[in-house]
């Protein structure tokens, strides 16, 4: 699942419209058979149907899906912001500091080395 902006992303196995028609009793025989076969094969689909049966009003399902999508978008936006904060913004100063420490270390080593030889 590469797109994390939609909680009920339609895929080949399960379509939310088909599930809603199945629950309302408006599904065709083919759709009903396909959904029941999926319920038998997949515990996820079975639990999805059971969960959707608890909603009395289809509008409640849509509202709940919208709320979940908003929460998901907020959470993914927070993660993106955290990643951006962790990046070093001024790497020039870091490079200068590392180079100066290396130069001082090499100079110190050379000074100690030359004074111990004499």
How remote is the C-alpha of 10 from its chain's centroid? 17
Are the CB atoms for 64 and 51 separated by under 8 Å?
no
Of 12, 23, 10, 9, give the one whose Cα is nearest residue 52.
23
> Is residue 11 predicted with pLDDT exceeding 60?
no
Task: Report d(CA 60, CA 85) in Å as an integer.
Answer: 38
* Pairs from 29-37 (Cβ < 8 Å, separation ≥ 24): none
pLDDT of residue 99: 95
Are the CB atoms for 19 and 52 separated by under 8 Å?
yes
What's the pLDDT tens digit per position in 48-90?
788 877 777 767 777 887 888 888 888 877 766 666 666 656 6
């Amino acid at each position: 699942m590469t797109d994390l902006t939609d909680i009920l992303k339609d895929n080949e196995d399960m379509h939310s419209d088909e599930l809603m028609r199945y629950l309302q009793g408006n599904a065709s025989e083919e759709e009903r058979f396909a959904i029941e076969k999926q319920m038998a094969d997949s515990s996820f689909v079975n639990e999805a149907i059971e969960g959707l049966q608890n909603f009395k009003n289809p509008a409640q399902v849509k509202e709940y899906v919208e709320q979940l999508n908003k929460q998901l978008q907020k959470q993914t936006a927070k993660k993106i912001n955290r990643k951006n904060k962790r990046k070093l913004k001024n790497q020039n100063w870091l490079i200068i500091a590392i180079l100066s420490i290396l130069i001082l270390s090499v100079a110190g080593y050379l000074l100690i080395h030359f004074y111990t030889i004499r």
